[in-house]
Structure 1
Amino acid sequence: MQSKHKKRICIVSRSLSEGGADRVAAMQSIFLHNLGYEVYIVTVLNSIKYPFKGTLFNLGEIKEKNDSVSGRFNRLLLFRKFLKTHNIDVVIDHRVRIKSLSECIISGFIYGRNVIYMVHNYTIERYFPSIKWFTELFYKKAFKIVAVSKGIETLIKEKYGFTNITTIYNPIDIDYINNLKSENIAITSPFVFWYGRFEEKQKHLSLLLEAYKKSDLVKYATKLVLMGDGKDKDFIIEKINALQLENSVVVLPFSTNPFAYINASKFTVLSSRYEGFPMTVLESMTCGVPVVSVKYKNYEYGIIKDGFNGLLVDNNPDSFSNAMNRFFEDENLYQNCKLNTLKSIEPYLVASISRKWEVLLDSI
């Protein structure tokens, strides 16, 4: 379709394959394209699994051929040339940004002034280089810093004093999920479900395993299914074996369609120490499935309401396991939470969130 907007938008992402930020970047490319913007995408890694729209420049393919110092410098030059060749009006950067030297080059030499820096996680230090004067120099001049929750926005204001910041929540595409959630899956026994990156520091999967071990779910013949990939996957498998849960816990590889597993599960679980605005919660409720979650840092700004659409409990194995048991022991509570899931996601539907992005982009 012919663009009705003059602006050319470049979305920059680590990849389009794993984690909530990648999913949001891919989804953003689709709704911005559908709104009529001319969309370009730059990925740092060669991993493309989520559907997207726009012109893709995969720097990861080039990286795999030459990741030497000169190769890295060449990629930066190619990145700059790509933005200039396509006359990019606005860059939306979803990456983690911690390396001061690299970010100095990218912010000062490659990007223009119309940059929107996304912050997807409550650990905001992952999105701002450690040298504070550098962060203040470049990020206060950005067109906008966009946080995915009010808690993150407040934290950034307190630490850096930035005024060019706003919150736009992650969107959910209910039609896309509905088209995938009814696919057949290999597991036939009852189960509860977790999916994401195997990263112990944030996701705290050892807590989930300990809570599951303490719970009555094995008595109820209900397995725990974990889906994903990540640097701590071997550690998690060792933990499963140490707890003698190898017959009760199923570990599956990453899939672009976790929705069929969500849809078939009794409920989903979240054991994180901290989160931004977790897509797994939105996606679970879009499937009509409630969530049992610990109170992670920033949970106050999430959408789980204890006893309404899920359960929120203290971050310890006993509280977590008791909450899992409650959804088996109290059918009225479970059905009430299940009933309220879909109405909980209404403010986050893609039509509403895309309009907020349209207003922001058209104000540049």
Structure 2
Amino acid sequence: MQKKLIALAIAGLVSAPAFAQSNVTIYGVADAYVGFGKHGENDFRGVGDGGLSGSRLGFRGTEDLGNGLKAVFVLEQGFDIGSGNDQIGGKAQSRQAFVGLSGGFGTVSLGRQYAPGYFFNYDALAGAAISPQSILSSQSGMTITPNTPARWSNSVAYTGSFSGLTARAIYSTGTDYTENALGAGFGARPAIELGEKPSDDDAYGLSLDYANGPLKVGGVYQVVKNDYAVAGLDDKQKEWGLGASYDFGVVSLHASYQSVDNIYGAKDEDADLWQVGLIVPVGAAGNVHVAYGQTKLDWSDGSDDKVKSYTLAYTHALSKRTTAYAAFNRTDNDNGLTMGLVGYGHKAGSTFGGDNADLFAIGVRHTF
């Protein structure tokens, strides 16, 4: 009996360190700005959320399982700091919610996760809301964007990094991809329905990024299958993008090109987007950001429209976790289009769309 008690005590001492290696990290972003802007007949003055990064609260955990294997999870909720409301459709964990296993092979995870297109940030503003690439991609109906359309529910994802090369892959059995092309001439789109076949609303994507010193290059490819309740919106939405950046020290250059076919499943309604930008360091803590982007929308009737967007911004690191910023964005629309950071307004009977959307913002971002 005494030998059994000693054996149990030893087993307890051996297993205790495994429990000690489990940990949970609470993290987040609080980002708000005072904004002044105009779009058509709409004048905006107020507090906006997430000029540089969307506000969020998250929990990240790992547990060491031994032999180089770890269990991982992330639960992340986005919110509007101005109102306190959640950002995306009432979801309890609107940004991310996944669990998986990680090791020398990379990480395999299950849940609501970022598609590879979320990380396609060859952008002088790093995917910020005030970035032309962010504005034009999300409001043209693209899923290669640092916004909600690149968060896919019901997905299996893989991420692995090897000697500077990062590979990402995802397969979703239903993305909840119901975003509207704000100002892209589409109007409201219906939600994706479950099709006759389980695979009718699936999506998949793959990306490769290579970083070596000051150089970074990468590409991404994504496909969303559409099964809408409206006839004629059932083609695959196919997208690809290529990007590169180089840091010369006194200035860094960022550029990308991306294309989408059959936006929201509408056959032959396509778009191309290119953008270029610079970051110029100012002193030890400041940066000037200049970015320009343009998207061309090709419609199934043979016509086309263009939207141009540019941003001038200054960011200043007050500490390692707190950044102050000031930015101006103008988005210039062709007739009938209403893209931009400020919501569009027009008088009854007047020509719809085609106005500039302007926003000047002064804000602060704190990460924890």
Question: TM-score scaled to structure 2, two decimals?
Answer: 0.25
Question: TM-score scaled to structure 1, two decimals?
Answer: 0.25
Q: Which has the larger radius of gyration?
A: 2
Higher-helix-fraction structure: 1
Higher-strand-fraction structure: 2
